[in-house]
Structure 1
């Protein structure tokens, strides 16, 4: 079973939507929430991946249902949120995890490529949050966690994603204020370099770069999916009941590296890996 640091039954009787729930951080988070008693609504574009995660959760004794969806389309988003309510009767939390990008310098990004990444990483998250707020949370309260990225000080090579993620941080701060009277908390989690299946989606020429990333992290290693999931679960939990409008970085202090201060040279810091079904990305496992 999932080895969560949180108490058993923490989310019993609660329903949480996880977008991008078919792989990577979304899959891990869905597993942890289900292990803690939540009914999990898995959302993503690939029905087969969603069904695989649902079956895993069911095998482990948890509750989940699949809702295939392209979060970039407003009508289907509203319809799907309605279907989640029909199935589970409530929406206590939303994890806006779905996202994606491709490596390219700004001058090489077409308008179509720019809009596709911004719609996935910013517009889709807005549409999901708005639908959950209007359909349930405005009257019943809730918690939203938006997954962004390490885009501090710019994001060279992925400027479209950096711009969208920065926009999502600003959206998080705005929604936290506007929706506070309805007892809706809105926060963000910014993962750094995480050893997740998403690493295998980048083109072959990035393999060597990915394998050297740990050397640029003060804690001396890449992060794990379970370490990001733990941050998300904390922000969804009652322990974070006075936390809203914040962005929690999970990055091993990588953005704090300065040219005037030498990188610490030490053994990699201990890791927390509570995810019993975690799989090492191929790019890191290959010789």
Structure 2
């Protein structure tokens, strides 16, 4: 099956003999992160509530020659977080990396959001991330070191339509900075964030059609002129977990085509650039195996499971992607 594995830009064997936990690793960005880490030699443990999705991803990784284990987890339960970390360390003797990717939210204006809805998303995203970080520290990293990457969302200019997740993700960013300072002296623990902008991902299936239309209408309103790919998030996570980031801790890395620095196509404001909706000048990075129909090269993966308009957009991106 040579040549069929995930096409990472990083050196093969980079994470040999390392054990890395990815929460929410059964679908979307988490699945892509798990694939890339496994392609680089890591034993990847993916954890989430839905075992069927986890098993599907683990099967894909194993068919491509990687190592992947699955475990159930509700990140809102601190005892489950502790038990998960203890199980991994007992079985494998270590936990070198943690990627806090699991989470969720729903679209709603703040004026129509209930207190319960707000609290639920904050509990899931902010508290769930804290539970995993604390469990990893107490169960292994406090004594042996390690690296943590928290997946948030680009929210430096607020998060209209999702005030609950904006508040939670901002809290995670601040928590990450605090943990980087407090835990750095404990055998060099590094804690960082990756903040995706608009990404073509299976997570898009969770939003109503009207919201998706808004995403598509504005997908080019940034200097990159496009949305991002799951691979572009995964590679950022891999970098922060790698020795190349040995002197990087406490940062929030936006992966958003600079959308957070721009205001889109402001025709009435000559101080702002007018972005071109006709197409991006920045080729995407897609790490999924490039296979042609009819070739006997091993398993063919379904790279993306998103609403049809976004699948069409992804096909265009793929035709312009960097060839690896």
* TM surpasses 0.5: yes
Q: Note the alpha carbon deviations across 1:30-67, whole angstroms, 9 max, x for none.
A: 00000100011101111100011111111011111111
Q: 1:55 aligns with which of 50, 59, 80?
A: 59
Report deviation, 1:204.
2.2
Paired residues, number:
287
Report deviation, 1:86.
2.3
1:189 aligns with 2:194: yes
1:121 aligns with 2:125: yes
SS of 2:244's equivalent? Answer: helix
Aligned equivalents of 2:47, 2:216: Cα separation in 1: 30
Report deviation, 1:153.
1.3
RMSD of aligned residue pairs (Cα, Å): 1.4
Give 1 or 2 for the bigger CA radius of gyration. Answer: 2
Q: 1:175 aligns with which of 176, 179, 195?
A: 179
- Corresponding residue for residue 10 of structure 1: 14
Q: 1:254 aligns with which of 259, 279, 282?
A: 259
Q: Which structure 2 residues correspond to residues 123-162 of structure 1 after superposition, within 5 A?
A: 123-162=127-166
1:217 aligns with 2:222: yes
Question: Which sits farther off after the overlay, 269-278 or 143-152?
Answer: 269-278
- Please list every run of 5 or more consecutive structure 1 residues that lacks an aligned counterpart in the other structure: none
Q: 2:244 aligns with which of 239, 244, 263?
A: 239
Q: Note the alpha carbon deviations across 1:222-262, whole angstroms, 9 max, x for none.
A: 10000000000000000000000011110001011145413
Report deviation, 1:193.
0.2
1:98 aligns with 2:90: no
- Judge conservation of contact 2:232–2:285 (CA < 8 Å) in 1: yes
- Judge conservation of contact 2:220–2:275 (CA < 8 Å) in 1: no
List structure 1 segments (4+ residues) > 3 angstroms apart after TM superposition.
none
TM-score, length basis structure 1: 0.97
Query: Would you tell me which structure has more helix in proportion to its own residues?
Result: 1
Aligned equivalents of 1:241, 1:59: Cα separation in 2: 32
- Corresponding residue for residue 306 of structure 2: 281
TM-score, length basis structure 2: 0.86
- Judge conservation of contact 1:213–1:222 (CA < 8 Å) in 2: no
1:201 aligns with 2:206: yes
